[in-house]
Amino acid sequence: EEGASPEEGEVGAEFEATSRQLMDGRRLTGNTNQIGQFTPLSCNPVEFDCTGAAGLSESVVGGGPVVVPCGTCLVYDLGAEATIGGLNIIGKLLVPTNYKSTLSTPYVFVQGELEMSDDQPTISEDNTSMKIILTGNTDVMFTPHEPVAGAAPLNAGEKPFLVAGGKLNIRGWDDVEGSGKTWTPILAMAEADRLHPDPIVGETAARTALPHLKNPTITCPNKIVHDFEGGVDFSVWKGGDGNILSYDEANGALTATNLRLDSQGFRLDFTKLTKDCPITQGVTYLVTIRLKIEDPTLEDGAVSICETNNHKDHCPKLGRSIVKAEGKGWLYDKEVNLLPSSIGRNNEWFTFASEWTWDAVDLTDTVAQVLYLKNFKPGQIIHMDEFQFELPSTKAYAPVEDPCLELVVNGDAENADGRGWHHYPMWSGRTDRFIPTILEETVDGAVNKYWHIENRVWVGDSLRFHVNHQCFMLGSTYTVSLRARFTGKTHPVTYWFEIKGNTATKGYRYQKPLYCPSQSAADGWVTCSGDFVVDEYYEFTSSPEIILVTQDENDSTGYVDWDFDDVSIKFKSGPAAGLEVGGSDAARWAVNSDVHITSSTLHGQDAQDGRVKAVSQKANGNVVLELENPITPVFSEKETPGYGVEIAVTSRNIKIIGEDDGTYNGGYLQVFHTPGVAQVIEGVEFFNMGQSSRKNRFAIQLLYNGNVEGTSISSNSIRQSNMRCISVDGTANATIASNVGAGITGHCFYFDRVSADNMVIDNLASNLNNRINWNNRIDGWDDYDADGFAIWSPFNHFIGNVAAGGHKRGFRYYLDWRTLGEDLIQVGGTLRVSPIGTFKDNKAHSNFRQGFHLADLQQFFQFRDPENVPVFENLSAYRNREQGIYSYNCVYCKFIGGFLSDNQKGIEIRRSDGITLQDFVIQGQTELFKNYVNDNNSHKLCGHSSWTYEGIHMMGTLWRLGDQDPGFGLRVKNVVLSGFDKEKEYYDSCPSTEPIGLSTDTHYGAHFDYKTSFENVTVDDGRDIILDGCRAASYGYPDIVITDIDGSLDPDMSASSGALVSDQTYMTGLFGDSCKSTAGCMSYCAGVCLGMFTLFTERFGTENYKLKVTDTASGLSIDIPGNVRTYNERWNTYAYDGQRTFAASLPAGQYTAEFVDEFGNSVWPTYAEEQWAQAADCSGGVSIGDVTFIKPALDAATECADMIRNGDSANRTEVTPWIHTKWYGEIVNELKPGEGIGGGNAIAMDRTYHWTGIAQNLNSMCTDAREGEWYEFSAWMKMTDANGNPSTNIDPNREWWRNQAPIMTITDRQYRDVSTKQHLYNAEHRNLAALARPYNNDEWGHIHGIFKMPTSPRLWFELERAPDNVKFLLDSASLTPLTCNRDGLVRNGNLETNDSVYWDIWGGGDVVLDFLPGAGPNGGNALKSSSRVHHSWTQSQVLNTDCVNAGDRIAFSAKIKTSADCLIYSWDYNQRCNDIFFHTDKDNVREYHRVGYITADTPDEGGWHHVHGIHIHSENGEKPDLAKLYFADANPSWDVYTADVKAYVLEQNCQALVENPDMEEKDLYWTYTDRDRSKVKVITPGAGGSGHALRLYDRDHSWRGLRQVLDPRCFVPGHEFTINAKFRLTDALLAGVACAGTDCPSVVLYGRKCPNGDVREKFWNALDMPWDSEGWNNYEATFAVSDEIAACGSVELWIHEVIPSWNIEIDDVQIYANA
C-alpha cells in the first residue's frame, strides 16, 4: 500500500468500498502485467506518404465505427460536427493543420499513426481547431490487429483513447522561439475601483428635513434644542409633584430642587413641540441630555448611589407618557434607565444619551405626550444644561458621495450627534449593563474624544456598529484598525475584531479579520491593524455588525473596562481587474482564452479561473490581461518578488474531452506497452479526462512502455481531471515539460517505482482536490493524498516545476524498501539506497501540508561517499500550511540554495541525520501574508494551538546510531533567518515562534546529541532569540550545543568562533567569563570548541545523582544533572529507553568524572555506558582518553553476593528496579500484594508479544569484578492468560526460539570500536536459564540456569520468550555466585531436588525432558529424554569446571538405560548404547570428548547400565567459556533415561596409580580397549574368594583387553614403580587354562600425545612360578619411568596380548611408587 492507514472514522465502509473496487477492477481495470508488448504493425510502412490520400469520409458508413486500414493513409475531412461509432487507426490518419472539426466518438484506438497539428499564432477558444469528444459509458473491446499475448481481445473500458503499438504526432504548441510559455509568474495587478452603492434612506444616508404633513411648504427642523442659554420655556418644562424648577441664569441651566419622591424631576410637555412637526413612525430619534446630580450628603466627585449599587433601580430614568384621546387611556410605553456605567460622579456634568422610536400604536389617537426624568434620591439637586431631540444627522452616516471608503462612522468619537456626545450609530448589545459612552482627555495640549465601555459581564461586551454590507465587493481589500486600552485588571488581555451576520450562501458567519496581540493595562493605548480580503464569507444579506471579542477573560478573572478610538474599516484596494505578465511569455495568449491563477493562500482551492477579455501592450514590453470578471487580489512579483503566484493559459486549440455524463468518469489517453516508439503529445487541452478511483484510467498515462526516447508530453493543459494529470509508469526517457494541471482529482504528476530517466521540466500542478479518500481509493495507490508531484522512483529528473495547491503535498519524494513493478508486483529490492536524479529549481506553495515531502533517501549507504548523496538545489517553498520542506529519514542529504517563507515551519528535519542546509533565506510570517489571510480564507498559519512557528525545526537527537551512519546531525551554512519574532503580534494562538526549534521526537538519549554546526548564519530577531532553550529543555534537551564556526551567532559580533549552549551552570561553569547569557535561555561562549561524551545509567535510585566533572588544570568543577525522557510508566521502565543520561560538553583538557549523590558522596548508578560523539566541526574539544572516571570502592564479596535487587517477595513493596522490553501499551510491571510465594508480594507483567519480558540491569562494577565467574540464576514464575487463568500453552520442551516457554537472556552492550567508544550494539546470550521440569501450569514454575558472568558497560537479564499474550507473575529471583566443587562438578546428579534443575538438553529439536520421580535405580529419581531426532540430543548439564586444572583427571559416571535394548559393544548408530560426552568451548576453540562408556555387560536391577570413564582435562578446556556434559549415541527413536550422574576430580595420587584396583566398585574407571572387539563382565567372587573381578571375553584378537587412564603427571623420569595384579585365564566354557611365556598376561603402558608419537612399554611378569590354571595367578613387575613415557600427555594402563580364544579375568591391579 503506498499510503498510510485510513483516517479515523473512515474504516467503517472500507469492506464495502473495497469490494466495489474489486468488482470494478474485474470489469474494467484488471492487471495488465500478463499482457504482452505492442510493436509497430508489420503491414505499415516505416514512413507513410500521404500525398493524394483519400478522405476519411469515404470510410464513414452512417454513424458506425470507422477503421483506417493497415498500410493506408487517410486524410481527415469530416465536417464541423461529426459523430461516429468509434475510430480504429490501424494505418495512418492525417488531420490537416488547423483543421476545424468536432468529432464525437466512443473510442480512439491508435495501432498505426495519428498526426494532427495547429500552428495558429494565438491560443483562444475562438481558434479551436480539432476537438475530439470521447463519449459513452459502456465498455469497449479492443482487438489488436496483429496478435499480442494476453490481449485478444482487451477490455478497454469506457471512453478510451488507447495507443497500442501505434504512434501519436500531435503538435498544438511547437516549442519554437516566440511561442511563449504555457504559464508564467504574475508581475503585477491592475485594480478595480471600489463600489459606490446608491444611498438607502434611513440606512446608509441621513434623512433630510421632513415636510409638514398638512402644509408641505412648511419645513420641520431636524432637531429641537433647549440649551437654556437665553432662559427657560416654562410652558413646556415642569417639575411636578411639588418639586421646584428654577433657572440658573449664571450657568444657563435648569435646576430642580425640593425632591422628596422618586417620581419627581423634570417633565417636558412634548405636545407643543410636535404640534407642527409630528413624530414620524418607525424613525430613530436621538435624545441627549446633559445633567449634573448634586447630592448634599456626598463629597464632590464621590461615586453616586447609582454606581455604588450598580443597579438600574437606583439610577435616574427617562420615560415617555402618551395621552390618548378621550376614552383611549394613558400609554406608558417606554422608560430608559441611566446606567451605572454612564452616570457621572457627584456634582459633575455627564451626558445621558438614548434612542427613541414611535410605532403606529404610539401615534394613533394621541393628543399629548410627556417626557419625564425621574428616580432621583430625595434631597438631591438636579441640574440640566442641555436637552436635544433630533433625527440622526449626516454625522451618523457614511458620506453619500463615497459611502464605501470608510465603513465605520465616527469611529474616532470626534463627530457625534447630540452636540458631540451621543453614541449613535454605535450601540450596545447589553443595554441593561452599558451603552457606549464618549469621553474626552487632553493629551499634549490636544483634546481627544474616545469610546468608553464599562460594567462588562461577557467577552463580547464591546462597541458595536452596523456595517454597510453593499460595500463588500468580492476581491476588494480593507484595512481594519483601532486603538484600545483597558483598566480595571492587571492580567494581559487579547481580543479580535469580528464582523458577523447572515450571508447569501454560507449561513450566519462570524468573520474575524483582525486578531490583536496581548496587551496589559500598563501599555496604555495600543494600535492594532491588518488587512483582509472580501470573499464569499463577507457576502452579507443585510448590514452585519462589528463586535470586539476579548480572550483571557471570564467570571473568575473578571472583566476589564475598555477604551476604543480610531475604529476603522477602510477601503484599501479593489479586486484584480487585470494581470500584468511578461509579454514574451504570453506571446500566444489571446482574447477568449481561459486562464488559471494559482492560490495566494495556504490552500490550493483558493486558486481562481478566468477568461481573457482584452490584451493590452505596455511600454516595458509586458502585457496586461483584462479578465471578464474581477478576481480576488493575488500576490504578484511586485509585492512578493520571487514568490508571487502563477497564471497559466489553460485553453488549447486542439482539445481531447471526456463527455460529461454526470459521473466522474471521463475519457482517458493511454500509451500502453508500446516500447521504442516516440510519442509526441504537445499543446493539447485535456478536459474531463480520467476516471475516478479506477486503475490505469488516468487523463494521460504512459503505461509500461520501457524506453521511449524521443517522446514529448509537453505544453498540454489538463483541466478538471477526474484522475491524475500525467502518470508515468514503467516508462523511460520521455520529456514531460511545460504542462499545466488544474482542478485535479488524485495526484497530478505521478512517477512509479520503475520509471527512469524522464526529464520533468517546467510543469505546473495546481488546485488538487480531495475527492479521493481512503474508502474509494484504488487498492495499492494513495491518490487520496493528492500530491502535485508523487515521486516513487529515484531515477527521474525534476527541474523548474511548480506545485501550487496539493491537497496534501506539493512534491512527495518517497523511496520504498522494495521495488514494485506493474500491478505492484515486487520486481526488486530497496530503492532507498539508489542515487537520485537531478532535483533543482522547483517551487511549492499553497499546499495543505508540506511543500516538499522528502522521505527515505539513503543513497549514502550504497556509496559511503559524502559527495555521492542526494542533493536538492534551489528549492522554494512558501505559503504552505505545514512545512516548506519536510525531510524524513534522509541520510546525508544536502539542501543547497533555497527560499522559504510563510510556512508553519520553514524546514523540518525529522529522523534524518547528516543534513547540510546551505545558501538559504528563511522568512517567517510576513506582514503582507498576515494581512492577506483571514480565518475564512481556508487556513491560517498557527491553525492549531500546539503548533510552533519555526524557521528550522531540527532534531535534538541523532536518529541513526550505527557505526556506519553519518554521526552528525545538521550543518547550516550561509543561511539568513528573519521574521520569527511576531508571534503575539500576528498570531496569538502560536505557542511560540522561533528561528530555530527542536523536535519533541526524542529517543532514549534524553538529551541533545544532534551534532550541529553553524557558519555564516544570520538570525534577525527583535527579541534576540535564536532558539528557545527553555522550551527545548521541556522537550528533553537541557544541554544544547551548537558549534559556531565563524562567530556569526555571537550577539556582540565580536567572537571569531564559539558555541551556543543552554544557559546552565553545568554547561558554562568551566569557561569563566567566556560565556554570556542570551535571550531564550541560551548562552554564547566565545572561543570554545566542545567535544561531548555521554554516560547512560540506570534510571532508578539515581534521581539525585550528579556527574561531577573537574578540570584538573584549573580545579574548577561542574555538577551535571542526569536527564531522563519521561512519558509514562511503560517508557520509564523500558529497557531500551528508560535510561538516565549525564552528558558533558567540554573543551580540550584533562578531567576527572565521578558520580556523587546529593551529599557529595561517591556513588555508582548501577551501570554507566560511556559514549563519545564525533568530534565537533571545530578545532579542539575533549576527546576519549582525556577523562578519568572515578568509581567508589566495592566489596564484591558482599555487594555482589546476589546481583538481583528486589528479588525476594517477602520485603517487596515496589516493582523498581525491574524493567521490561515491552514497547507497547501502558500497563507493564505491577506489584501484586499477597500473590507471591508464601503470600508475599509478586510482580506481574502484562505481555502481548513473545519477545518481550521482565528484566533488570546488573551492577556493572559487580560484573566487572566477577567477570568470567560462574553464577546461578533462579526465579519462580506463574504464567496466565489475559483473564488470569493458568496458561495452557506453555511447553518447556520446545526449543527456545519456538517461544513456548520462558527463558532467561543476558543482553550486554558492546563497543564496535573500543578505541572510539562511539557506537554500541546489543549482544544477546539466550537460553542461559530455562523452565525446570516438571512444570504444572497451575503452580509456580522454576526458571533456573548457570552461566559465566560476562561484563560490558551495561548488562541486563530478561525473562522472555513465553508465547504471545502470556502474562508473567514473578517471585523469588536471585543471581548468586556458583562455586566450583572438585568433588561434585555435576549438580543435582541424583535429582535430589525432585526436579530437573541444572539439567537441560543438548542439541536442537523439541526434545522432551521429563522428570520421573521414583523411576531411577533403587527407587530414586530419573530423567528421561524423548522425541529425539538426533543421536546426540539428550539430557545435558552445564558444568562449572573453573576449579579443574589442565592435567587433572575428571571421573564421570552415570546410570543409563534406553527404551529399547542397546548393544553395548556396537558402533552401529541404530543399536549402540549411550556414552558420556564432555564438551568445552574456550575462545571459540571447541573440544568434544567421549569420556564415559558402558564397560560391563552386567546391568543393575531394572536394566540400568553403569557408564563411566576418566578424562584428562586439556589446556584448551581449562576455565572454558562453556563446559557441558551430555549423553550421546543412542538410536534417535529411543528414549534415554539417566540417574546418579557424577563428575569429580580424581586428586593426584602418585603412590597408587590405579583407581578401583580391586574391582569392588565393579567396572568403574575400567573400560575395554576396543568397543566392538571384546566384551566385559563383572564376576564374583574375585581373587580371595570375595568381592568382584572383571572378565574380558569374546575377544577377536590378542590385542583386545582392558585399560584405565592413569595420571600422566606421576610419570617422572627415573621414578620407579611396581605393578601388582592377579590374573586368571579361562576358555569359552570358563574352564581354566594354563599359559606359558609370552602367552601369559602382561601389563602395557601406552603413552599418547607424546612428542615423537605414541609410546608403548610392555612389562612381563617378574615372578617365576608355574601358572595355576584353576586359580588366581599373581603378577608383579617393577620399572623405572623412561624419558619417552614421561613426556606423554596421556598414559593408559593396558592388559591384553593373550590368546584371543581365552578369557582374561583380572583383579587387584595396582601400580605402586617405590619411593
Question: Per residue in 72-123, pLDDT tens?
Answer: 999 999 999 999 999 999 999 999 999 999 999 999 999 999 999 999 999 9
Average pLDDT over residues 1663-1692: 96
Dist CA 1481 CA 765 (whole Å): 67
Among candidates 1216, 1072, 1201, 1089, which has minimal Cα distance to 1148?
1089
Average pLDDT over residues 406-425: 94
- Which residues contact residue 784 at a Cβ distance below 8 angstroms, ignoring those fewer than 6 apart? 3, 770, 772, 773, 774, 777
Q: Answer whether residue 11 shows pLDDT above 70.
A: no
Summarize pLDDT for 266-284 with one digit per residue, the tens. Answer: 998 888 777 777 788 888 8
Q: Answer whether residue 209 shows pLDDT above 90.
A: no
548 has which bridge partners? 497
Tell me the residue ranges of DSSP E strands in 1001-1081.
1012-1020, 1041-1044, 1058-1062, 1075-1078
Q: Which of 147-151, 301-305, 1001-1005 has the highest mean pLDDT?
A: 147-151
pLDDT of residue 1127: 65
Q: Answer whether residue 4 shows pLDDT above 50.
A: no
Q: Are 769 and 787 in contact (CB under 8 A)?
A: no
Q: Answer whether residue 331 shows pLDDT above 70.
A: no
Average pLDDT over residues 411-416: 95
Dist CA 526 CA 565 (whole Å): 10
β-bridge pairing 1341-1348 and 1270-1280 = antiparallel
Q: Answer whether residue 193 shows pLDDT above 60.
A: yes
Please tell me what DSSP assigns to residue 523.
Answer: G
Summarize pLDDT for 1315-1328 with one digit per residue, the tens. Answer: 999 999 999 999 99
Average pLDDT over residues 1620-1634: 96
Dist CA 1084 CA 1078 (whole Å): 7
pLDDT of residue 821: 96
Continuous segment of H or E residues that includes residue 556: none
For the chain, percent of residues with pLDDT exceeding 90:
75
Q: Answer whether residue 941 shows pLDDT above 80.
A: no
Torsion from C-alpha of 1381, 1386, 1388, 1390, nearest 10 degrees: -120
- The pTM for the full model equals 0.80
pLDDT of residue 28: 32
18 has which bridge partners? none
Q: Answer whether residue 826 shows pLDDT above 70.
A: yes
Distances from the Cα of 369 to the Cα of 268, 283, 317, 940, 1712, angstroms: 9, 17, 17, 57, 151
pLDDT of residue 26: 26
pLDDT of residue 218: 58
Tell how far CA 73 is from the center of its chain: 59
Q: Answer whether residue 689 shows pLDDT above 60.
A: yes
Summarize pLDDT for 1170-1195 with one digit per residue, the tens. Answer: 999 999 999 999 999 999 999 999 99
Mean pLDDT score of the chain: 91
Q: Could you tell me where the DSSP H helices lie in 274-330?
A: 305-309
- Set of cell numbers at residue 1553: 596409580
Dist CA 1368 CA 1362 (whole Å): 9
For the chain, helix (H) and strand (E) counts, in that order, are 14, 112
Q: Answer whether residue 902 shows pLDDT above 70.
A: yes
Q: Answer whether residue 217 shows pLDDT above 90.
A: no
Dist CA 1144 CA 79 (whole Å): 85
User: What's the pLDDT band for 1298 if we cut at 50, 70, 90?
Assistant: very high
Q: Exposed, middle or buried, 1259 (CB in 10 Å: 0-12/13-18/19+)?
A: buried
Q: What is the full DSSP assignment across 1128-1140?
A: -HHHHTBTTT--E
Q: Answer whether residue 21 shows pLDDT above 60.
A: no
Among candidates 186, 304, 896, which has minimal Cα distance to 585?
186
In the chain the first and final C-alpha atoms are separated, in Å, by: 88
Dist CA 596 CA 1037 (whole Å): 47
Q: Exposed, middle or buried, 1197 (CB in 10 Å: 0-12/13-18/19+)?
A: exposed
User: What's the pLDDT band for 5 if we cut at 50, 70, 90?
Assistant: very low
How many Cβ atoms from other residues are within 10 Å of residue 441's Cβ? 11
**1262 in helix, strand or coil?**
helix
Dist CA 57 CA 78 (whole Å): 6
Q: Which is more confidently placed, 442 or 309?
A: 442
Identity of the amino acid at 941 = L
